Amino acid sequence: MPYPNVESVSFSKNRLITQELDYDILVIKNDFNHMFLALTNEQHNIFLNIMSVVKENKGGVFFVYSYGGTEDFVCKINPDGELASLLRKTSLIIWDKAPMVHKHAFEALDRTLKDILRCKNSNISNIPFGGKIIVFGGDFRHILPTVPGGSRQNIVNASLSSSYLWQHCKVHRLIKKNMRLIVGRGQSDIEKIRDFTNWLLDIGECKLGGPNDGETFIDISDDILINDPDDPIGLLIEFVHPSILDKYSSTKYFQERAILAPKNEVVQEINDHLLKKFLGDEVEYLSSDSIFESEFVHDQFDANLYSPDVSNGLKVFDLPNHKLV
């Protein structure tokens, strides 16, 4: 009988690596084959380009452009811990919605990976992310990083594209088709969606309103305007949630509609307006904001391994007489 592989035995003791490798190969393969055939030509070329780099294992940084503190921070990862071992074994890291994240987060990961991987190769100090392949995704037209009290210049400077890491990114673009909007739609709906989408993209590309420095006037079609000066929020709620008092108990009713708002204070104003429609008293429930270690947890409990979603498990829902926050 051959001796067991030392590396395999070592990794079998790492809970994080074991969890990441605990998948059904046949199921993953079937899912891959199905999704691979559905790729557009753009997506197909980008996928092959990135996977060729993964197979070569020489490192790389990419940004998939799809329409739709201090500089010395590092991630709190023990170089000898399980998470560090998982990162060493990782071939590819995908970070979606990257334009919404402050550049310091990416730079902290860059320094952390260099520090963790330096013990294996002392020459990686000048290689982005220690030679690991990173794929960023997102749209710079969406909300940029939040800088409390910051100016436009401060916000732009906090973006990934303003980081020293951006010069290493090879940019791919997916801008020809929005697959999610056209699936299951009729030809007339597709044409309307296409026109509206092109209008939004033109705004994002600063093609409307003439030459400007970021501020200009744009004509908006009457069919998407709220023309009630007395109660615009009420009209918006009635448009998005018609007959809500009769249908609030239907899960599907809320799954098919949503109101988007640019700021938290606008969200609060809409929520308050909506809650006033329901009879009864408002009750507020609070979720836990910290993790308490159980006596049954293993000795190497590390709270940093758990995302904020674990403690803030309750999301915000508006129900009759109740408000969950």
Picking from 197, 18, 174, the residue whose alpha carbon sits closest to that of residue 96 is 174
Whether 301 shows a pLDDT value over 90: the answer reads no
The DSSP string of 227-269 is: --SS-HHHHHHHHHSTTHHHHTT-HHHHHT-----SSHHHHHH
Mean pLDDT of the chain: 80
Alpha-carbon distance of 316 to 311, in angstroms, equals: 14
pTM of the model: 0.57
pLDDT tens per residue, range 219-256 = 888 878 888 888 889 999 998 999 888 888 888 888 88
Alpha-carbon distance of 320 to 325, in angstroms, equals: 14
Whether 108 shows a pLDDT value over 60: the answer reads yes
Q: What is the arithmetic mean of pLDDT over 121-131?
A: 81
pLDDT tens per residue, range 143-188 = 889 888 888 889 999 999 999 999 999 999 876 666 666 666 777 7
Decide which of 286 and 45 is more confident.
45
Q: What is the arithmetic mean of pLDDT over 94-108?
A: 93
Express as a percent the part of the chain with pLDDT over 90: 23
Q: Which pLDDT score, from 0 to 100, does residue 270 have?
A: 92
pLDDT tens per residue, range 275-296 = 888 877 777 777 666 666 665 5
Torsion of CA 9, 10, 16, 18, to 10 degrees: -10
Q: What is the arithmetic mean of pLDDT over 6-19?
A: 69
Tell me the one-letter amino acid at 221.
S
Q: What is the arithmetic mean of pLDDT over 185-207?
A: 80
Name, in order, each residue with C-beta under 8 angstroms of 61's C-beta and a sequence gap of 6 or more: 128, 129, 133, 134, 136, 165, 168, 169, 170
Given a contact cutoff of 8 angstroms between Cβ atoms, the answer to whether 173 and 42 are in contact is yes
Q: 216 pLDDT band (50/70/90 cuts)?
A: confident
User: Could you tell me where the beta strands, DSSP code E, fall in the chain?
Assistant: 60-66, 92-95, 133-138, 169-174, 283-285, 317-319, 322-324
Whether 315 shows a pLDDT value over 50: the answer reads no
Whether 11 shows a pLDDT value over 60: the answer reads no
Q: 109 pLDDT band (50/70/90 cuts)?
A: very high
Q: 314 pLDDT band (50/70/90 cuts)?
A: very low
Q: What is the arithmetic mean of pLDDT over 61-68?
A: 78
pLDDT tens per residue, range 68-94 = 544 767 788 888 889 989 999 999 999
Q: Which pLDDT score, from 0 to 100, does residue 248 have?
A: 81
Q: What is the arithmetic mean of pLDDT over 3-7?
A: 54
